Amino acid sequence: MNKTLLLIGFYLLINACSESPPTLPELPENAVILAFGDSLTYGVGASDGDDYPRVLSKLIGREVINEGLSGETSQSGAQRLPALLDEYRPDLLILIHGGNDMLRKISAQETIDHLNSMIAEARQRNIGVIMMGVPKPALFLLDSAEFYRTIAEQHAIPADLNTLPELLGNTEFKSDPVHLNPAGYRKLAEKIRDLLIKTGALAPA
């Protein structure tokens, strides 16, 4: 009996680990991608050209526009995003937001509402969305705030909840406690590229 339960548990674990993210339409070569967020998108801690949108653009051969604003909260982001979506008309939105909310102890529900609003604005314009989870402030064992998983599942959007906690939990990839260094931003760009491949937005190299 115990052996059977162990086999069932192992089977479920394998399935969970191999679960594929939701799919996205393939991005054409002339696609425009909008990288939207706060200082992690802007590239605090990196020199010019080492921010993740610039690195990602070189990796995938598509235009990636950096619209990161250092210090921005999700409320301000939700107000800023619609005009940018109308200006750039991107094929894809990469959303990394909410970290400043947690640092300022803004309620999780407020952050959820604003992230939902951003995703809704993109969806209304038929723009695909992927999201990266931002870790909760902690001394050890960083994990993305749980609401990122809830939002991703609710909207059926591809999300990576592991990369930023792993990078920000490793001094090798940090410029300070809450920002990456050039090596960290490159890793972030590589992980986003990998997620785009998994979703079908990019063909494997």
Whether 132 contacts 180, CB under 8 Å: no
Domains defined for the chain, CATH in brackets: 32-199 (3.40.50.1110)
Tell me what pLDDT residue 71 has: 97
**pLDDT tens-digit series, residues 136-168:** 987 666 899 999 999 999 999 999 999 999 999
Give 8's pLDDT tier (boundaries 50, 70, 90). Answer: very low
List the Cα angle 162/165/170 in 5-degree steps: 125
129: which residues sit within 8 A by CB, 6+ positions away? 92, 93, 95, 119, 122, 123, 155, 157
Upper half-sphere CA count for residue 146 (Cβ side, 13 Å): 1
